[in-house]
A and B are shown apart, each in its own frame.
Chain A
């Protein structure tokens, strides 16, 4: 049984301008102990996906899904009280900005203790010991002393380590990290990623890492899910995504990125146009208006194509039916069978 299975997730926000479709029929899953990177640009739906699973969205959001199963248990069937037992206990989450996700009027010790007393039923003394142990694990120097400090007494990198300590304090099966290092400087980012790596090896928790930074994904994740316009457009191992991307959007992202190891000055190859308007998502491929390979068939809903070894992409370039519509540059591409989303 997979740790998490999400089927046909759809999240729509009611706004003054009309319904905004943030997640548009997403299906994916992950195994215990896996690291899955979800990448995409602003508005692609990656954070909303996480918040939809956790049921943490504001009331103007409508979340529907055929299934959101954590080890076979369907989360949408749970009551709010049951969800509270799951959040922080079975699924923990850390956010981009550690300052706004910590309570400024509670000490670090109280915040960690709160979670373990609630979920693990520890008494006051045990909870304190657990907090010290966790702070020690995330390499906060002098944890017994720092327990009584408030969040503002910590630096940004230390706060994020406190968040990680808190998130892992109840041994969750799944940790969702939403842009955990985006607000941090690079040398501090390196510390935090190394820490997350070590702790994952130790605890065996699965991690969903949400980020816009393709470098972080390459470093950290086994599998990668690329989102665009509220849905998955490509899914594969990190090696496949970076070595042989199939979807023109993924290819475009990699071509538009200046790299630290570029020896020669190469002109960047940007993706033309602007990200899609979520108020008016097209019926077909959301990327089509910016795509260099656009074909007439792209205006109809696109299935996933299966490239083998778990590699999927949502693009008509590989469809038998589109063979005669392909632009010259795409003539040599293989035709592959339609597949179903990774469950």
Chain B
């Protein structure tokens, strides 16, 4: 699927949200949403980014598009430095990278018709005018499985799945290369989810799109991704090819996460062993020292409480950040 050229590269990316308190609005702490994250996305691939609430996965997506300013780090898009760009350059960049949001209710302006919503990026970027806009809107609506007459309707007249199609049409309007899909199917019913997933796959094949697919549903991520990165409290703890990650997870957190997903098959479920983690996900305001997962990790030892494990490559393309794995010759623990 890929031709080996890197489209997006993030290096040591940080995003701290300051917390102010008291009468003088003193800076008291930071929410360390993204805390030193590096990865690359190859042209034509889908990188899945999974994690639980507070892991920082949504923030990573917004940083790449510069919808949020990064605290520190480097983002390269086609080898160009995104964080150094001025407003004009950013605007041009947004023609190449787009985003689809989770909530198809909150991300469409209720006072605009669907036609106006899809036409807006065309106007902003001066890609079409007059009759050209109308034609292009019709073409885009058909592309995502809607009817041309839907252009005159308002978002509230549509179901969740149809609205998400409008969001996809809007993202496609500028012919982007790269789309951040931020939980695009999480708000949809199961029977509608599959329609939108198939649509995203079809469009990727048709236009050679590159996706960053952010989700908490590991079954959906397995289905759609080429490679998968797992985040935990602001850090990537494991990154590998899709099948490698799901069949041979190294990091104890990835193992626990995968074992926690119930499979819709009661016969299989009875045979499966589940790793039930104790405790809660730590706060990104005050993450534990050393490895962030050590407070819940069944195999943590002293080193994990002091020293932060680096993300290291243990097999070709298979990265993990775990002292246990390092001290056991690149093997993951057997937790089941």
- Residues of A close to B222: CB separation below 8 A: 258, 260, 262
- Asked whether B277 is an interface residue with its Cβ less than 8 Å from the other chain, the reply is yes
- Residues of A close to B296: CB separation below 8 A: 187
- Asked whether A157 is an interface residue with its Cβ less than 8 Å from the other chain, the reply is yes
Of the candidates A188, A212, A216, A239, the one whose C-beta lies within 8 Å of that of B280 is A188
- Asked whether A215 is an interface residue with its Cβ less than 8 Å from the other chain, the reply is yes
Q: How far is the CB of A293 from chain B (nearest CB, A)?
A: 16
Q: How far is the CB of A181 from chain B (nearest CB, A)?
A: 10
- Asked whether A268 is an interface residue with its Cβ less than 8 Å from the other chain, the reply is yes
- Asked whether A145 is an interface residue with its Cβ less than 8 Å from the other chain, the reply is no
- Asked whether B162 is an interface residue with its Cβ less than 8 Å from the other chain, the reply is yes
B-side interface size class:
35 or more
- Asked whether B268 is an interface residue with its Cβ less than 8 Å from the other chain, the reply is yes
In the bound assembly, the distance between CA atoms of A267 and B195 in angstroms comes to: 11
Task: Pick from A187, A188, A193, A274 the residue with the most CB of B within 10 Å.
Answer: A187
Q: How far is the CB of A318 from chain B (nearest CB, A)?
A: 22
- Asked whether B159 is an interface residue with its Cβ less than 8 Å from the other chain, the reply is yes
Digit string of B290-306 for contact with A (CB within 8 Å is 1, else 0)? 00000010000000000
Digit string of B123-135 for contact with A (CB within 8 Å is 1, else 0)? 0000000000000
Interface of B is mostly: helix
Q: How far is the CB of B131 from chain A (nearest CB, A)?
A: 31
Q: Which A residues from 274 to 288 make CB contacts under 8 A with B? A: 274-275
- Asked whether B26 is an interface residue with its Cβ less than 8 Å from the other chain, the reply is no
Q: How far is the CB of A144 from chain B (nearest CB, A)?
A: 20
Known: A243-B267, A260-B222. A213 touches B194 (CB 8 A): no
Q: How far is the CB of B323 from chain A (nearest CB, A)?
A: 21
- Asked whether B219 is an interface residue with its Cβ less than 8 Å from the other chain, the reply is yes
Q: Which B residues from 48 to 86 make CB contacts under 8 A with A? A: 52-53
CB closest residue in chain A, given B162 = A274
**Among listed A1-9, A83-91, A248-256, A304-312, interface-contacting one:** A248-256
- Asked whether B220 is an interface residue with its Cβ less than 8 Å from the other chain, the reply is yes
In the bound assembly, the distance between CA atoms of A274 and B159 in angstroms comes to: 8
Contact A260 B194 (CB under 8 A): no
Task: Pick from A216, A256, A265 the residue with the most CB of B within 10 Å.
Answer: A256
- Residues of B close to A191: CB separation below 8 A: 276-278
- Asked whether A118 is an interface residue with its Cβ less than 8 Å from the other chain, the reply is no
Known: A218-B266, A268-B198. A41 touches B277 (CB 8 A): no
- Asked whether A185 is an interface residue with its Cβ less than 8 Å from the other chain, the reply is yes
Q: Which B residues from 193 to 235 make CB contacts under 8 A with A? A: 193-195, 197-198, 201, 216, 218-220, 222-224
Q: Which B residues from 265 to 317 make CB contacts under 8 A with A? A: 265-269, 274, 276-278, 280-281, 296
- Asked whether B90 is an interface residue with its Cβ less than 8 Å from the other chain, the reply is no
Q: How far is the CB of B107 from chain A (nearest CB, A)?
A: 18
Contact A218 B53 (CB under 8 A): no
Contact A253 B263 (CB under 8 A): no
In the bound assembly, the distance between CA atoms of A269 and B201 in angstroms comes to: 13
- Asked whether A219 is an interface residue with its Cβ less than 8 Å from the other chain, the reply is yes
In the bound assembly, the distance between CA atoms of A150 and B161 in angstroms comes to: 38
In the bound assembly, the distance between CA atoms of A220 and B260 in angstroms comes to: 13
- Asked whether A270 is an interface residue with its Cβ less than 8 Å from the other chain, the reply is yes
Q: How far is the CB of A269 from chain B (nearest CB, A)?
A: 7
- Asked whether A42 is an interface residue with its Cβ less than 8 Å from the other chain, the reply is yes
- Residues of A close to B190: CB separation below 8 A: 41, 212, 214, 253, 256-257
Contact A260 B246 (CB under 8 A): yes
- Asked whether A171 is an interface residue with its Cβ less than 8 Å from the other chain, the reply is no
- B residues contacting A by CB (< 8 A) are 52-53, 159, 161-162, 189-195, 197-198, 201, 216, 218-220, 222-224, 243, 246, 256-269, 274, 276-278, 280-281, 296
